[in-house]
Amino acid sequence: MSDLLAICILILFGALFAMSEISIAAARKIKLRVMVDEGSKNAQSVLALQEQPGRFFAMIQIALNAIAILGGIIGEQALTPYASQLITLIYSGPMLDQISFLLSFFIITSLFILFADLLPKRIAMIMPEAVAIRVVDLMNMVTRALTPLVLMFSGLSNLMLRIFKFPTEREEIVTTEDIVAVMEAGAQDGTLQQQEYHLIGSVFELDSLTIPSVMTTRESIICFDLNDNSDAISAGILAHPHNQFLVCDGSLDKLKGYVESKDILRLLLNGENAQIKPEIVKTDILYLPETLTLSEALNAFKTANQTFAVIVNEYALVVGLVTMKDLIGSFMGDLVTFNYEEQIIQRDANSWLVAGTTPIIDVIKQLDISQFPDMDQYETIAGFLIYVMKRIPKRTDSYIHEGYKFEAIDVEGVRVEQLLISRLGDSSVANHTAEELKKPNR
């Protein structure tokens, strides 16, 4: 009975050390830091062990191997006589001792695998932080008690790692991919709502998208000329009720500043004609290069304290205009609405009408297309069609990519105003010959 009791105690300690090993290794640093902020000292101890795990794992291996060896010795002595008595009921030949030993070995090994290894590790994997903070103090005490052996084996293991040029400590770096993976897991489990998932994902895209993907292009900018009469100014404000309007001198590339619609309204309320007076023209225009990312543009807006910026290219020509609302809408998506004209309209289950100025990233999200070729060469869906065709497309020109047909249906001069995107079935894609697929590139 004393041997059986010793086996039970060894299994219990084996389970404790196995749980400690897995839980401290698997405990997530992010969650532990949250627990530290909530006042948990044990969580801080777990973090310290994760930073310097060498001595801890040396102690665990010493303990587990010692328990396994003792369990084998005691188990063989305790169970072999009982196994021998059991086997004699059906066999009493010359192989009795060997068979009894194998049976006792199988029983003791199964007990240790199930109760000292498998089950404890499963429990530790399910709730690693909860287990880790409960066992960390005991593990530190055992480590200190076994200090001579721990130092010897830890030193030898570090020496071997250095000889083979392996790092002796784990370097914990949280990358964007790690965060995205956590978000995807949270979205699949339901702990993170889909809107929250898309919002966080859009924030990470701010460093990969440039201003042209969200700006109002040059031809769509409403601008007043210094020589515009009252009727032209009034008609412009009525047709486009913006807060600010750019003011130029004959050309959009000769900007003089901007006026606020409330200043013009104030003139009308005072009985004067709507006109561009020098005293109401503000000259502090924020200019941004078109190569800036959305993240850099947000920082520029924060520094300049402006609500809009004029976008220029490398030749100092105006190519567009972007507002703070444009930048916010780029990652807020459906969470905010600014009454903009919808750029992607779904006609049926397999076709969409898409404005040519639609950012390519919006098309990817809407159609769930994995990627477009050479995306750094264009910003919009019209730019994609022009790039792959190597020319300005004509009406009804089309290109097939990843099972979708991109067809220009409205072309004004050199501008692709609107496209029709259709999802093709497998048979439809197969029916297009190689020559037909190359036709748009001619």
What's the CA gap between 261 and 269, in Å, rounded? Answer: 12
| Cβ-based neighbour number of residue 2 at 10 Å | 8
User: Looking at per-residue confidence, does 225 or 182 come out higher?
Assistant: 225
pLDDT at site 173: 67
The band of 312, judged by pLDDT with boundaries at 50, 70 and 90, is: very high
pLDDT at site 210: 85
239: helix, strand or coil = helix
Helix (H) or strand (E) segment spanning residue 88: none
What's the CA gap between 151 and 93, in Å, rounded? Answer: 51
Q: What are phi and psi of 256, to 5 degrees?
A: -110, -15
Q: Which of 385, 441, 389 is nearest to 417 (CA)?
A: 385
Structure tokens at 347: 């006609």
The architecture CATH gives domain 211-334: Roll (3.10)
What's the CA gap between 219 and 235, in Å, rounded? Answer: 18
318-323 and 216-217 as β-strands: parallel, antiparallel, unpaired? antiparallel
- Where do the structural domains in the chain lie, given as residue ranges? 2-163, 176-207, 211-334, 344-441
Query: Tell me: domain 344-441, CATH 3.30.465.10, correct?
Result: yes
pLDDT, average across residues 345-373: 86
Is the sign of the CA dihedral 142, 145, 147, 152 positive or negative?
negative
* 423, 403 contact by CB (below 8 A): yes
Q: What are phi and psi of 243, to 5 degrees?
A: -80, -35
Amino acid identity at 257:
G
Long-range contacts of 36-44 (CB under 8 A, 24+ apart): 40/133, 42/132, 42/133, 42/134, 42/136, 42/137, 43/129, 43/133
Q: Which of 120, 127, 123, 90 is nearest to 18 (CA)?
A: 120
Give percent of the chain with pLDDT exceeding 70: 88
pLDDT, average across residues 22-49: 90
pLDDT at site 267: 87
Average pLDDT, the chain: 84
pLDDT at site 197: 67
Q: Which residue in this structure is represented by tokens 């006609």?
A: 347
List the end-to-end C-alpha distance of the chain, in Å, as a whole number. Answer: 91
- Taking the complete model, does pTM exceed 0.85, yes or no? no
Within a 13 Å sphere around the CA of 414, how many CA atoms are in the beta-carbon half? 2
216-217 and 223-225 as β-strands: parallel, antiparallel, unpaired? unpaired
* 249, 256 contact by CB (below 8 A): yes
User: Looking at per-residue confidence, does 377 or 134 come out higher?
Assistant: 134
Q: Which of 429, 427, 369, 426 is nearest to 398 (CA)?
A: 429
pLDDT at site 277: 87
Residue 369 has pLDDT above 70, yes or no: yes
| Cβ-based neighbour number of residue 384 at 10 Å | 25
CA distances, 328 to each of 133, 198, 210, 307, 405 (Å): 42, 14, 14, 11, 31
Structure tokens at 64: 């587990």
